[in-house]
Amino acid sequence: MAGPVSFRPGCWLKSAFAIISEPGSKLLSSKGAQLSKAIQNQLNRSFTLDDGSFCLLKNFGSQDLEPIYQLEQRSNPHPWSKRNFEDSLASSHICVGVEEEGRWIAHAVFSIASGDAELLLITVDSAWQGRGVARKAIKIMVEMLEDFAAELFLEVRASNSRAIKMYDQFGFNCLGVRPGYYPSADGREDAHIYGMSLRIG
Protein backbone atom coordinates (compact mmCIF):
# COMPACT_ATOMS: atom_id res chain seq x y z
CA MET A 1 0.00 0.00 0.00
CA ALA A 2 1.43 3.36 -1.04
CA GLY A 3 2.32 5.81 1.68
CA PRO A 4 1.02 9.36 1.94
CA VAL A 5 2.01 11.90 -0.67
CA SER A 6 4.58 13.61 1.51
CA PHE A 7 8.22 14.64 1.48
CA ARG A 8 10.70 15.72 4.12
CA PRO A 9 12.89 18.84 3.80
CA GLY A 10 16.10 18.33 1.85
CA CYS A 11 19.28 20.16 0.90
CA TRP A 12 20.61 17.70 -1.68
CA LEU A 13 20.47 20.45 -4.34
CA LYS A 14 23.05 22.59 -2.56
CA SER A 15 25.62 21.70 -5.21
CA ALA A 16 23.19 22.78 -7.94
CA PHE A 17 22.08 26.07 -6.41
CA ALA A 18 22.54 27.97 -3.17
CA ILE A 19 19.91 27.74 -0.46
CA ILE A 20 18.31 31.17 -0.37
CA SER A 21 18.48 31.42 3.41
CA GLU A 22 22.18 30.54 3.53
CA PRO A 23 24.30 33.17 5.35
CA GLY A 24 26.40 35.33 3.08
CA SER A 25 24.00 35.22 0.14
CA LYS A 26 21.97 38.36 0.83
CA LEU A 27 21.66 39.28 -2.85
CA LEU A 28 20.40 35.80 -3.70
CA SER A 29 18.06 35.85 -0.72
CA SER A 30 16.65 39.19 -1.85
CA LYS A 31 16.11 37.97 -5.40
CA GLY A 32 14.61 34.72 -4.14
CA ALA A 33 12.23 36.69 -1.92
CA GLN A 34 11.21 38.88 -4.87
CA LEU A 35 10.51 35.84 -7.03
CA SER A 36 8.55 34.17 -4.25
CA LYS A 37 6.50 37.33 -3.77
CA ALA A 38 5.79 37.55 -7.49
CA ILE A 39 4.54 33.97 -7.55
CA GLN A 40 2.48 34.39 -4.39
CA ASN A 41 0.80 37.45 -5.90
CA GLN A 42 -0.60 35.17 -8.61
CA LEU A 43 -2.15 32.71 -6.18
CA ASN A 44 -5.78 32.24 -5.11
CA ARG A 45 -6.44 29.78 -7.92
CA SER A 46 -9.54 27.62 -7.80
CA PHE A 47 -9.91 24.09 -9.15
CA THR A 48 -12.43 21.27 -9.01
CA LEU A 49 -11.65 17.67 -8.15
CA ASP A 50 -13.04 14.77 -10.16
CA ASP A 51 -15.64 14.17 -7.44
CA GLY A 52 -16.90 17.75 -7.80
CA SER A 53 -15.24 19.17 -4.68
CA PHE A 54 -14.37 22.86 -5.15
CA CYS A 55 -10.90 23.79 -3.87
CA LEU A 56 -8.81 26.93 -3.60
CA LEU A 57 -5.02 27.04 -3.84
CA LYS A 58 -3.74 29.98 -1.79
CA ASN A 59 -0.86 31.21 0.33
CA PHE A 60 -0.66 30.31 3.97
CA GLY A 61 1.04 32.52 6.54
CA SER A 62 1.94 32.59 10.20
CA GLN A 63 -1.74 33.05 11.11
CA ASP A 64 -2.46 29.66 9.52
CA LEU A 65 0.36 27.70 11.13
CA GLU A 66 -1.69 25.91 13.77
CA PRO A 67 -4.17 24.19 11.40
CA ILE A 68 -1.39 23.56 8.86
CA TYR A 69 0.78 22.03 11.57
CA GLN A 70 -2.08 19.86 12.85
CA LEU A 71 -2.73 18.58 9.32
CA GLU A 72 0.97 17.79 8.98
CA GLN A 73 1.06 15.91 12.27
CA ARG A 74 -1.90 13.67 11.52
CA SER A 75 -1.13 12.98 7.85
CA ASN A 76 2.67 12.73 7.55
CA PRO A 77 4.40 9.80 9.32
CA HIS A 78 7.59 11.88 9.39
CA PRO A 79 6.16 15.37 9.85
CA TRP A 80 7.81 18.74 9.71
CA SER A 81 8.11 20.57 13.00
CA LYS A 82 6.43 23.90 13.58
CA ARG A 83 9.90 25.44 13.45
CA ASN A 84 10.36 24.04 9.91
CA PHE A 85 7.28 25.95 8.80
CA GLU A 86 8.34 29.10 10.64
CA ASP A 87 11.77 28.96 9.01
CA SER A 88 10.21 28.49 5.56
CA LEU A 89 8.00 31.53 6.03
CA ALA A 90 10.95 33.57 7.32
CA SER A 91 13.04 32.47 4.32
CA SER A 92 10.37 33.66 1.87
CA HIS A 93 9.74 30.16 0.61
CA ILE A 94 6.54 29.70 -1.38
CA CYS A 95 4.09 28.32 1.18
CA VAL A 96 0.76 27.28 -0.30
CA GLY A 97 -2.23 25.35 0.90
CA VAL A 98 -5.44 23.92 -0.50
CA GLU A 99 -8.74 24.89 1.11
CA GLU A 100 -12.05 23.07 0.72
CA GLU A 101 -15.07 24.70 2.35
CA GLY A 102 -12.82 26.81 4.55
CA ARG A 103 -10.63 23.99 5.87
CA TRP A 104 -7.06 23.16 4.90
CA ILE A 105 -6.79 19.77 3.18
CA ALA A 106 -3.23 20.01 1.82
CA HIS A 107 -0.13 22.17 1.87
CA ALA A 108 3.18 22.46 0.04
CA VAL A 109 6.43 24.40 0.37
CA PHE A 110 8.68 25.37 -2.53
CA SER A 111 11.99 27.23 -2.62
CA ILE A 112 13.31 29.11 -5.63
CA ALA A 113 16.84 30.39 -6.28
CA SER A 114 19.37 30.75 -9.11
CA GLY A 115 16.72 29.98 -11.69
CA ASP A 116 15.69 26.63 -10.18
CA ALA A 117 12.88 25.55 -7.87
CA GLU A 118 12.64 22.75 -5.33
CA LEU A 119 9.57 21.13 -3.85
CA LEU A 120 10.50 20.77 -0.19
CA LEU A 121 7.25 19.37 1.17
CA ILE A 122 3.80 18.34 0.07
CA THR A 123 1.29 16.79 2.45
CA VAL A 124 -2.32 15.88 1.74
CA ASP A 125 -4.80 15.22 4.54
CA SER A 126 -5.20 11.47 5.02
CA ALA A 127 -8.94 11.71 4.29
CA TRP A 128 -8.25 13.38 0.93
CA GLN A 129 -5.40 11.27 -0.40
CA GLY A 130 -5.98 9.53 -3.72
CA ARG A 131 -8.58 12.08 -4.86
CA GLY A 132 -6.34 14.20 -7.08
CA VAL A 133 -5.62 17.06 -4.66
CA ALA A 134 -1.83 16.91 -5.05
CA ARG A 135 -2.03 16.39 -8.81
CA LYS A 136 -4.28 19.42 -9.37
CA ALA A 137 -2.32 21.68 -7.01
CA ILE A 138 1.07 20.76 -8.45
CA LYS A 139 -0.20 21.26 -12.00
CA ILE A 140 -1.11 24.84 -11.12
CA MET A 141 2.23 25.44 -9.38
CA VAL A 142 4.22 23.98 -12.30
CA GLU A 143 2.42 26.32 -14.70
CA MET A 144 3.18 29.30 -12.45
CA LEU A 145 6.81 28.35 -11.86
CA GLU A 146 7.49 28.16 -15.61
CA ASP A 147 7.83 31.96 -15.66
CA PHE A 148 10.36 32.01 -12.81
CA ALA A 149 12.44 28.81 -12.89
CA ALA A 150 14.09 26.55 -15.46
CA GLU A 151 13.99 23.31 -13.44
CA LEU A 152 11.92 21.84 -10.63
CA PHE A 153 13.47 19.25 -8.30
CA LEU A 154 12.13 17.08 -5.50
CA GLU A 155 12.84 14.00 -3.39
CA VAL A 156 10.47 11.09 -2.86
CA ARG A 157 10.56 7.93 -0.78
CA ALA A 158 11.33 4.82 -2.82
CA SER A 159 8.22 3.16 -1.36
CA ASN A 160 5.87 6.02 -2.27
CA SER A 161 4.58 4.45 -5.48
CA ARG A 162 1.56 6.78 -5.64
CA ALA A 163 3.72 9.89 -5.72
CA ILE A 164 6.27 8.32 -8.09
CA LYS A 165 3.50 7.45 -10.55
CA MET A 166 2.15 10.99 -10.38
CA TYR A 167 5.55 12.57 -11.01
CA ASP A 168 6.23 10.20 -13.88
CA GLN A 169 2.98 11.40 -15.44
CA PHE A 170 4.09 15.01 -15.01
CA GLY A 171 7.30 14.26 -16.91
CA PHE A 172 9.80 14.21 -14.05
CA ASN A 173 12.97 12.18 -14.56
CA CYS A 174 14.74 10.18 -11.86
CA LEU A 175 18.19 11.77 -11.50
CA GLY A 176 19.62 9.53 -8.80
CA VAL A 177 19.17 7.83 -5.46
CA ARG A 178 20.26 8.76 -1.94
CA PRO A 179 20.61 5.40 -0.15
CA GLY A 180 19.15 5.26 3.35
CA TYR A 181 18.18 8.93 3.33
CA TYR A 182 14.79 8.67 5.07
CA PRO A 183 14.03 7.07 8.44
CA SER A 184 11.50 4.24 8.21
CA ALA A 185 9.88 1.58 10.36
CA ASP A 186 12.51 -0.88 9.13
CA GLY A 187 15.45 1.44 9.69
CA ARG A 188 16.27 3.58 6.65
CA GLU A 189 14.78 4.08 3.20
CA ASP A 190 16.20 5.38 -0.08
CA ALA A 191 15.26 8.77 -1.50
CA HIS A 192 14.76 9.08 -5.25
CA ILE A 193 15.82 12.43 -6.69
CA TYR A 194 13.57 13.74 -9.46
CA GLY A 195 13.81 16.75 -11.74
CA MET A 196 11.84 18.28 -14.58
CA SER A 197 12.57 21.04 -17.07
CA LEU A 198 10.02 23.83 -16.85
CA ARG A 199 11.11 25.61 -20.00
CA ILE A 200 11.38 24.19 -23.50
CA GLY A 201 14.37 25.24 -25.58
How many Å apart are CA 119 and CA 129, to the nearest integer? 18
Kindly give, in sequence order, each residue whose CB lies less than 8 Å from that of residue 1, ignoring residues fewer than 6 positions away: none
- Neighbour count for residue 200 (Cβ, 10 Å): 5
- Evaluated on CA atoms 180, 181, 183, 184, the torsion sign reads negative
| Residues identified as active-site | 155, 167
- For residues 109-119, one letter each, b for 16 or more C-beta atoms within 10 angstroms of the residue's C-beta and e for the rest, the string is bbbbbbebbbb
